[in-house]
């Protein structure tokens, strides 16, 4: 016992620390590898081979899967039939009267505030298109890291409603990383399999600018009165939209006058895009954050991370659909006039708009083509720039109280995915074979009392239990009950010194590129009510796959920070002294961020 132990204070019994060797934990540092500053596609993410997905499939009923590629021939047939029907309808005098009454564009529109295309609209439109390239491509990349979508938070294999990957194999230790797929380098951003760390910097970083662009757009929309262009103000919009549809389908197109007002169909499509899809993109994006879901558990109980992710994908699908249709009509309803409107702000048939369009297309294409090669050559730049833009927001959410995020027994998921690199060392095998009798958790660094605890001593410490939700960065989630020791108990035991600001958790297992897996957490998180070392899961000793004998839970952060198979904990001044210096194994090797509250 230490000299300062007070036998009457009711503190937990202090286990013997006689076997602590101060150098053991320090020696872990030399078992780390630093990670590269470029991406070598051949050795990326532990040399995962290229793996292609499959055509998108949607589940029908319990276990039948519909290949969405069938929508192409079906859609074509439907279009032909619709054209025939519309042509027939136009011969009817009642339909002709209807079209005369509702020509497509509402009469009332066309005030001075809404006529023409002022410069701010044209610039907003350009920035929006430019930013969307990176957002959509990196979004697809993020999807392909867990190419399945669910409506419940349980992510149970076979229960997904959408997948671009084969059914989950029966291997009980199949990991989410094995389940990821590659994308062509010019489709995904950056395209490589399991490049979610880099894709997320693009996605979240560019999102920040897209949001800013959107906020400016909304402000100017309402300040100038131009909102009337996008918001239907009379019920006439529906008959006008129907009329427009019949006119298009009958191949006798209406005479548009987009300079003054949009037709009914356009109005509805633009309204959905601006006032429904864009805000929903933000809300559903935030709905996937561990810290926010934990804080707003009541909302996230109904609107779970998987519902958010599925809706986020449907917003993505809407944007793709909108872009295709939008570009088709720009090209087919008077290209020069349309390009003059949105690029030159003039209402004539000159080639000026076309020229500006051509220049803007060059910028778009250069941006598109350069993004993947730049990311592969300068991933640290992407990581640092992303961290600079997104990091402060993530920092904000890291402070929320995670206590709210506790669930009940009935919420426990029937299946929790496995993930990560399993330990394969002789050291681990020997410990495992001996039922961890020789296991020691070593805690050292900037602490008053270094500790060295075996499983019996750990189990003798005050028991803590929580039922919480796991959020993997790749997109799957699940709820489990964790039993073990609160990190606060450990902190009370070892008494960190004031200089200790970060807590590093070292694993018995290597990461995919060799060198031990580790991760650093801010010391403030150690006093969160839901930060703990778990040795039990769902009332059983932690299994090999889920991190036996000991793993971390910190419920304000994503899954990769929940180090499994822990062998040591070091309290340090700053994580920059450890490994590659970026705050964890994935940060060093796969360009993740060290704070992951969203
Ligand atoms: N040592 C170690 N811990 C690790 C990993 C790993 O590769 N090595 N993977 C992490 C990732 S990405 C996730 S999502 C969770 C998965 O935990 P589970 O397999 O128990 O669901 O463990 C984390 N802890
Ligand atoms: Mo993960």
270: exposed, middle or buried (Cβ count in 10 Å: 0-12, 13-18, 19+) = middle
> Which residues hold their Cβ within 5 A of ligand 2, which is an ion?
419, 472-473, 559-560
357 assigned to some structural domain: yes
Report the percent of the chain where pLDDT is more than 90.
93
Task: Estimate the crossing angle of helix 237-249 against helix 93-101, to 10 degrees.
Answer: 130
Could you tell me the pLDDT band of residue 1, with boundaries at 50, 70 and 90?
very low
Q: Is the CB of 559 under 6 A from ligand 1?
A: yes
Task: Check whether residue 359 and residue 421 sit in a common domain.
Answer: no
Task: Check whether residue 508 and residue 583 sit in a common domain.
Answer: yes
Per-residue burial over 111-124, b if 16 or more Cβ lie within 10 Å, else e, is eeebbebeeebbeb
61 assigned to some structural domain: no
70 assigned to some structural domain: no
Q: Is the CB of 416 under 6 A from ligand 1?
A: yes
Task: Check pLDDT > 60 for residue 14.
Answer: no
The predicted-structure confidence for 49-108, as pLDDT tens digits, reads as follows 999 999 999 999 999 999 999 999 999 999 999 999 999 999 999 999 999 999 999 866
Task: Check whether residue 382 and residue 404 sit in a common domain.
Answer: no
Lowest mean pLDDT among 37-41, 130-134, 257-261, 514-518: 257-261
**DSSP for 569-581?**
EEEES-GGGSTTS
Which amino acid residue places its CA nearest to atom 16 of ligand 1? 419
The stretch 268-279 carries a mean pLDDT of 98
Which ligand 1 atom lies nearest to the CA of residue 546?
Answer: 20
Which ligand 1 atom lies nearest to the CA of residue 559?
Answer: 14
594 assigned to some structural domain: no
Q: Which domain holds residue 125?
A: 92-157+182-396
Task: Check whether residue 285 and residue 252 sit in a common domain.
Answer: yes
pLDDT for 112 equals: 83
80 assigned to some structural domain: no
Task: Check whether residue 484 and residue 383 sit in a common domain.
Answer: no
Task: Check whether residue 247 and residue 263 sit in a common domain.
Answer: yes
595 assigned to some structural domain: no
Task: Check whether residue 373 and residue 497 sit in a common domain.
Answer: no
What mean pLDDT value characterizes the chain?
A: 95
Residue carrying the six token digits 């030159």: 344
Out of 425, 562, 567, give the residue to mutate to test ligand 1, the one with the largest number of ligand atoms within 8 Å of its CB.
562
50 assigned to some structural domain: no
Task: Check whether residue 344 and residue 402 sit in a common domain.
Answer: no
Task: Check whether residue 402 and residue 371 sit in a common domain.
Answer: no
Which amino acid residue places its CA nearest to atom 6 of ligand 1? 420
| CB contact at 8 A, 421 and 544 | no
pLDDT for 435 equals: 97
Give the largest CA-CA distance in the chain. Answer: 101
* Residue 418 Cα to ligand 1 middle (Å): 7
Which ligand 1 atom lies nearest to the CA of residue 518?
Answer: 1
Residue at a domain's end among 336, 363, 396: 396
Residue 557: count other Cβ atoms within 10 Å of its Cβ. 28
Q: Is the CB of 417 under 6 A from ligand 1?
A: yes
Domain with residue 561: its CATH number is 3.90.420.10
The stretch 299-315 carries a mean pLDDT of 95
The stretch 506-510 carries a mean pLDDT of 98
The radius of gyration of the chain's CA atoms, rounded to the nearest angstrom, is: 28
The predicted-structure confidence for 402-442, as pLDDT tens digits, reads as follows 999 999 999 999 999 999 999 999 999 999 999 999 999 99
Which amino acid residue places its CA nearest to atom 11 of ligand 1? 560
Torsion of CA 189, 190, 193, 197, to 10 degrees: -90
Number of structural domains in the chain? 2
The stretch 209-213 carries a mean pLDDT of 98
337 assigned to some structural domain: yes
Residue at a domain's end among 368, 396, 424: 396
Task: Check pLDDT > 50 for residue 4.
Answer: no
The stretch 301-312 carries a mean pLDDT of 96
Out of 559, 563, 593, give the residue to mutate to test ligand 1, the one with the largest number of ligand atoms within 8 Å of its CB.
559
Task: Check whether residue 383 and residue 406 sit in a common domain.
Answer: no
pLDDT for 3 equals: 38
Task: Check whether residue 371 and residue 411 sit in a common domain.
Answer: no
CA distances from 260 to 107, 352, 392 (A): 11, 20, 43
pLDDT for 106 equals: 81
The predicted-structure confidence for 393-404, as pLDDT tens digits, reads as follows 999 999 999 999
Residue at a domain's end among 362, 396, 430: 396
Task: Check pLDDT > 70 for residue 16.
Answer: no
Taking the model in full, what pTM does it have?
0.95
């Amino acid at each position: 016992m230490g000299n300062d132990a007070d036998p009457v204070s009711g503190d937990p019994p202090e286990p013997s620390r006689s076997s602590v060797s101060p150098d053991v934990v320090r020696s872990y540092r030399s078992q780390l590898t630093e990670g590269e500053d470029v991406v070598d596609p051949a050795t990326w993410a532990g040399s995962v081979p290229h793996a292609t997905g499959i055509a998108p499939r949607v589940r029908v009923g319990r276990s039948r899967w519909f290949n969405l590629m069938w929508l192409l021939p079906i859609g074509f047939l439907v279009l032909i039939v619709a054209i025939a029907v519309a042509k027939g309808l136009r011969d009817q005098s009642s339909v002709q009267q209807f079209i005369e009454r509702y020509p497509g564009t509402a009469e009332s529109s066309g005030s001075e505030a809404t006529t023409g295309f002022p410069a701010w609209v044209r610039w907003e439109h350009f920035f929006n298109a430019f930013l969307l390239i990176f957002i959509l491509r990196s979004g697809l990349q993020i999807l392909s890291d867990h190419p399945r979508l669910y409506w419940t938070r349980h992510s149970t294999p076979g229960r997904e409603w959408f997948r671009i990957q084969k059914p989950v194999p029966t291997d009980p230790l199949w990991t989410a990383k094995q389940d990821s797929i590659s994308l062509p380098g010019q489709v995904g951003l950056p395209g490589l399999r399991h490049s979610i760390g880099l894709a997320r910097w693009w996605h979240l970083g560019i999102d920040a600018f897209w949001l800013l662009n959107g906020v400016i757009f909304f402000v100017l929309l309402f300040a100038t009165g131009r909102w009337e262009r996008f918001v239907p103000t009379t019920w006439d919009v529906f008959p006008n939209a129907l009329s427009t549809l019949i006119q298009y389908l009958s191949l006798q197109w209406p005479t548009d006058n987009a300079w003054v007002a949009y037709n009914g169909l356009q109005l509805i499509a633009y309204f959905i895009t601006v006032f429904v899809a864009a805000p929903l993109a933000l809300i559903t994006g935030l709905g996937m954050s561990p810290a926010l879901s934990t804080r707003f558990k009541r909302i996230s109980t109904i609107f779970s991370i998987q519902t958010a992710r599925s809706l986020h994908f449907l917003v993505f699908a809407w944007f793709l659909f909108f872009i295709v249709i939008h570009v088709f009509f720009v090209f087919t309803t008077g290209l020069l006039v349309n390009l003059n409107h949105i690029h030159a702000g003039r209402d004539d048939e000159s080639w000026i708009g076309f020229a500006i369009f051509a220049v803007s297309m060059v910028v778009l294409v250069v941006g598109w083509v350069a993004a993947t090669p730049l990311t592969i050559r300068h991933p640290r730049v992407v990581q640092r720039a992303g961290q600079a833009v997104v990091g402060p927001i993530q920092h904000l959410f890291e402070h929320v109280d995670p206590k709210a995020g506790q669930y009940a027994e009935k919420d426990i998921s029937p299946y929790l995915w496995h993930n990560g690199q399993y330990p394969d060392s002789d050291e681990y095998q020997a410990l495992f074979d001996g039922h961890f009798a020789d296991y020691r958790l070593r805690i050292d660094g900037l602490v008053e009392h270094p500790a060295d605890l075996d499983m019996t001593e750990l189990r003798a410490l005050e028991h803590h239990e929580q039922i919480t939700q796991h959020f993997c960065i790749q997109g799957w989630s699940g709820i489990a009950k964790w039993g073990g020791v609160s990190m606060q108990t450990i902190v009370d035991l070892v008494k960190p010194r004031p200089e200790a600001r970060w807590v590093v958790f070292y694993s018995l297992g290597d990461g995919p590129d060799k060198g031990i897996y580790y991760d650093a957490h801010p010391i403030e998180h150690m006093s969160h009510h839901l930060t703990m070392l778990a040795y039990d899961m769902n009332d059983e000793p932690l299994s090999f796959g889920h991190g036996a004998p000991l793993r971390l839970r910190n419920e304000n952060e994503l899954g990769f920070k929940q180090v499994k198979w822990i062998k040591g904990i070091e309290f340090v001044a700053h994580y920059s002294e450890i490994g590659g210096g970026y705050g964890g194994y994935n940060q060093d090797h796969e360009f993740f961020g060290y704070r992951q509250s969203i």
